[in-house]
C-alpha cells in the first residue's frame, strides 16, 4: 500500500469541498480532495448564490467566470406560484437582483447558476492553483492523532493507499461518514420532509413564451412541487415530496412516473420530457454539536442541514470554507497557534444554527403557515448572508461597547470587530477601486486621512509578529473646498473611526480590531502587536 502526505485532506468534492480547495490553494496551502463520484455533480441542486458568496468568489478569481456562465439567467429574477407553467399564475414576486439597489452595499450581484455548472468552474480554478483533486476515490477509514490524520483511500480500480494529512476537512454532505464516525451528534428540528429532485430535459419555450422564473411553485390536481428551468429553456428540475408513513418510497419514482409529474407541472402533454436523473434528499433543520474535533473540521451540509426555501445551504457552506481556509493556512505555516482553529467552531456554528432556523422560517412563510411570531423573526436575505456579528472568535472586542445582536441589517453596521468590513468605493479607476479589493490574502490595516503614522506601526508589528500585513491609507488626492465628500470621509463614516483612526481586517474580510480615535502615536505598534497576537492565538 503506497503512502503519501498532504497538509489538508478534503473529503467530498462537491460544491463546498471544491470551494475549500480553491480557498486553500489561494492561500498557497497544498490540499488533496477525494470524491467518490467520477466527476462533478450531474444534478443541478443549488441554483442561487447571494452577493456575499459572489464576493468570496471574486476574492479568488472565480466570480467573473461564474457571472459569464450565469449571463443567460439575467432575466430569471421572478419567483412565482402557478397551477402549471401553462396555467394560471397564483402569485409573482421579484427576487433580489443585486443591482443598483445594492450598489452602496456590495459590487457583487446575485448569481443564478445551477450547481452542476458552477462546480466545473471551481474544479478548474482549484486545479489551476495546484490542488490535487481525486475523483472516483473514496475514504475507507481514518484515524487521527495529536500530529495529524491518517486516511485509507480506495480509487476506482479498487486500489487502496494511505494518505497522511495535517488536518481533515469533512465536506461529505448531510450523511457525512466522517461526522458519524466521530459520533458527533446533531441538534435541531430534525427531518421535516423527504423529497426527490427530478432533473429532466424539455422544451419550455412553447409554454413559457417571454416569461422567465427563478423558482416556480406548482400546485394542481396531479403534482405539488418546485420547478426550476435553465437559461436555455431546454432543461429543468422538479422537486416533489414523498411520505414513507403513507407507504410512499423512492421506488415509486420510475421514469414513467417522473415524466408524468413533470408534464403535469409544465401543464402540457405535448412537450416531450426526458428524465435525466433523480436525487433523493431530506429537508431538515439539523446542526452538528461541534464543527471541530481534534484535527477534523466539518463544513457545509456535513455541519448543517438547512431547509432550502431561502437558498441558504450552499451559501452558508461556501462561507464556512472561506472562514476556515485562512485559519488553516496560518496554523500550518506556524504563524498562528492551533487555538485559531477553535474559533472556526465559535464563529460558524452559531451562524449555522441561526441560518438553519431562518430556512425553516422561510418555509413557513412561503407555505403560508407562518405565525405572527414567525413572521417577525424572519430576516431578509442580506441580513442572513451579510449581517453576521461573530460574538467570540478571532477578533478583539471593544471594551465597553454594546454587544451586537447575532445579525443586523448590514447597512447599520459600522466596522465593529467581528462583522463584515463595509464596502466603500475608494478610487474607481485606481489600483484599489474599493475596500473589498484590498482583502483576501493577508491582514490589512486601513488608516484614515490623518493616520499616516500607522504605516510605521504596521511595518514594525508585522515584523515582530511575523505576519503578512498590508497597509492602506485612505486619503484625499486633493479636493477643492466645498467639494462632495471624498473616499476618506466615506470610509471613516462607514468604519466608525476618526481621520486618525485605524481598522485591522482579516484575510476573510472580517474586521478584527480597530482604534477609532487613533490613540497615542507611541502606543500604536504595541497595540497592533497585542491585537495580532490575540487574533492569531499566540
Render 456-525 in DSSP notation, one character per residue. HHHHHHHHHHT--EEEEE---S---TTPPP-HHHHHHHHHT--TT-EEEE-TTSBEEEEETT---GGGHH
pLDDT of res. 431: 59
395 pLDDT more than 90 = yes
Pick the CATH number of 190-284 from 3.30.9.10, 3.20.20.70, 3.40.50.12780, 3.40.50.300: 3.30.9.10
Select from 324, 305, 365, 293 the least CA-distant residue to 81.
365
pLDDT of res. 433: 81
Cell numbers describing residue 113: 447558476
Whether the CB-CB separation of 61 and 393 falls below 8 Å is answered with no
Select from 511, 509, 502 the least CA-distant residue to 396.
511
Segments making up each domain of the chain, as ranges: 2-73+109-186+285-383, 190-284, 395-535
Cα atoms found within 13 Å of the Cα of residue 92, Cβ hemisphere only: 12
SS3 360: helix
Q: How confident is the model at residue 428 (pLDDT cuts 50, 70, 90)?
A: low
Judging by DSSP bridges, how do beta strands 78-82 and 215-219 pair with one another?
parallel
How much is the pTM?
Answer: 0.94
- Give the contacts of 177 (CB within 8 A, at least 6 positions apart): 139
pLDDT of res. 124: 98
Average pLDDT value for residue range 250-264: 93
Phi first, then psi, for residue 432 (nearest 5°) are -125, 85
- d(CA 508, CA 416) in angstroms, rounded, equals 15
Percent of the chain with pLDDT over 90: 73
pLDDT of res. 411: 95
CATH of domain 395-535: 3.40.30.120
Phi first, then psi, for residue 167 (nearest 5°) are -145, 155
Whether the CB-CB separation of 200 and 274 falls below 8 Å is answered with yes
SS3 263: helix
Whether the CB-CB separation of 86 and 266 falls below 8 Å is answered with yes
Rounded to the nearest integer, the mean pLDDT of the chain is 91
The superfamily in CATH containing domain 2-73+109-186+285-383 is: FAD/NAD(P)-binding domain (3.50.50.60)
Question: For the segment 69-89, what is each residue's pLDDT rounded down to a tens digit?
Answer: 988 776 555 677 778 888 777
- d(CA 516, CA 450) in angstroms, rounded, equals 12
- Give the contacts of 255 (CB within 8 A, at least 6 positions apart): 275
For residue 367, the surrounding DSSP H or E stretch is helix 339-367
Amino acid at each position: 500500500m503506497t503512502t503519501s502526505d498532504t497538509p489538508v485532506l478534503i473529503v467530498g468534492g462537491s460544491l463546498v469541498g471544491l470551494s475549500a480547495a480553491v480557498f486553500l490553494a489561494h492561500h498557497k496551502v497544498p490540499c488533496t480532495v477525494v470524491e467518490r463520484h467520477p466527476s462533478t455533480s450531474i444534478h443541478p441542486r443549488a441554483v442561487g448564490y447571494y452577493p456575499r458568496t459572489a464576493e468570496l468568489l471574486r476574492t479568488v478569481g472565480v466570480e467573473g467566470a461564474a457571472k459569464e456562465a450565469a449571463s443567460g439567467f439575467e432575466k430569471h429574477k421572478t419567483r412565482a406560484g402557478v397551477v402549471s407553467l401553462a396555467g394560471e399564475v397564483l402569485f409573482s414576486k421579484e427576487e433580489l437582483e443585486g443591482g443598483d439597489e445594492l450598489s452602496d452595499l456590495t459590487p457583487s450581484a446575485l448569481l443564478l447558476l445551477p450547481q452542476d455548472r458552477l462546480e466545473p468552474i471551481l474544479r478548474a480554478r482549484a486545479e489551476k492553483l495546484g490542488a490535487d483533486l481525486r475523483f472516483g476515490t473514496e475514504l475507507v477509514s481514518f484515524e487521527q492523532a495529536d500530529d495529524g490524520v491518517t486516511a485509507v483511500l480506495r480509487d476506482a480500480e479498487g486500489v487502496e493507499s494511505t494518505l497522511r494529512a495535517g488536518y481533515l476537512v469533512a465536506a461529505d454532505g448531510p450523511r457525512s461518514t466522517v461526522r458519524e464516525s466521530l459520533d458527533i451528534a446533531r441538534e435541531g428540528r430534525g427531518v421535516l420532509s423527504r423529497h426527490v429532485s427530478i432533473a429532466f430535459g424539455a422544451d419550455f419555450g412553447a409554454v413559457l413564451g417571454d416569461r422567465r422564473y427563478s423558482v416556480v411553485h406548482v400546485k394542481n390536481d396531479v403534482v405539488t412541487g418546485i420547478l426550476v428551468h435553465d437559461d436555455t429553456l431546454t432543461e429543468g428540475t422538479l422537486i416533489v415530496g414523498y411520505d414513507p408513513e403513507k407507504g410512499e418510497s423512492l421506488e415509486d419514482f420510475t421514469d414513467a412516473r417522473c415524466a408524468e409529474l413533470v408534464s403535469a407541472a409544465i401543464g402540457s402533454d405535448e412537450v416531450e420530457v426526458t428524465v435525466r436523473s433523480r436525487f433523493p434528499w431530506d429537508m431538515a433543520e439539523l446542526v452538528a454539536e461541534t464543527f471541530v474535533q481534534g484535527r477534523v473540521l466539518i463544513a457545509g451540509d456535513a455541519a448543517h442541514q438547512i431547509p432550502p426555501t431561502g437558498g441558504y445551504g450552499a451559501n452558508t457552506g461556501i462561507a464556512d470554507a472561506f472562514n476556515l481556509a485562512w485559519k488553516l493556512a496560518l496554523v500550518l505555516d506556524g504563524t498562528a497557534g492551533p487555538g485559531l482553529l477553535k474559533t472556526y467552531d465559535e464563529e460558524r456554528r452559531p451562524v449555522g444554527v441561526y441560518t438553519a432556523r431562518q430556512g425553516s422560517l422561510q418555509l413557513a412563510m412561503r407555505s403560508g403557515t407562518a405565525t405572527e411570531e414567525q413572521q417577525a423573526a424572519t430576516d431578509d436575505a442580506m441580513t442572513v448572508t451579510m449581517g453576521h456579528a461573530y460574538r467570540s472568535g478571532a477578533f478583539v472586542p471593544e471594551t465597553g461597547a454594546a454587544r451586537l445582536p447575532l445579525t443586523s441589517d448590514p447597512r447599520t453596521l459600522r466596522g465593529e470587530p467581528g462583522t463584515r468590513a463595509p464596502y466603500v468605493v475608494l478610487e474607481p479607476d485606481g489600483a484599489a477601486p474599493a475596500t473589498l479589493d484590498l482583502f483576501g490574502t493577508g491582514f490589512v490595516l486601513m488608516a484614515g486621512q490623518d493616520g499616516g503614522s500607522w504605516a510605521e506601526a504596521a511595518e514594525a508589528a508585522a515584523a515582530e509578529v511575523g505576519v503578512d500585513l498590508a497597509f492602506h491609507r485612505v486619503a484625499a488626492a486633493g479636493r477643492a473646498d466645498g467639494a462632495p465628500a471624498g473616499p476618506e470621509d466615506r470610509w471613516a463614516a462607514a468604519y466608525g473611526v476618526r481621520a486618525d483612526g485605524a481598522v485591522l481586517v482579516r484575510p476573510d474580510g472580517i474586521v478584527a480590531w480597530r482604534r477609532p480615535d487613533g490613540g497615542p502615536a507611541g502606543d500604536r505598534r504595541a497595540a497592533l502587536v497585542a491585537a495580532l497576537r490575540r487574533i492569531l492565538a499566540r
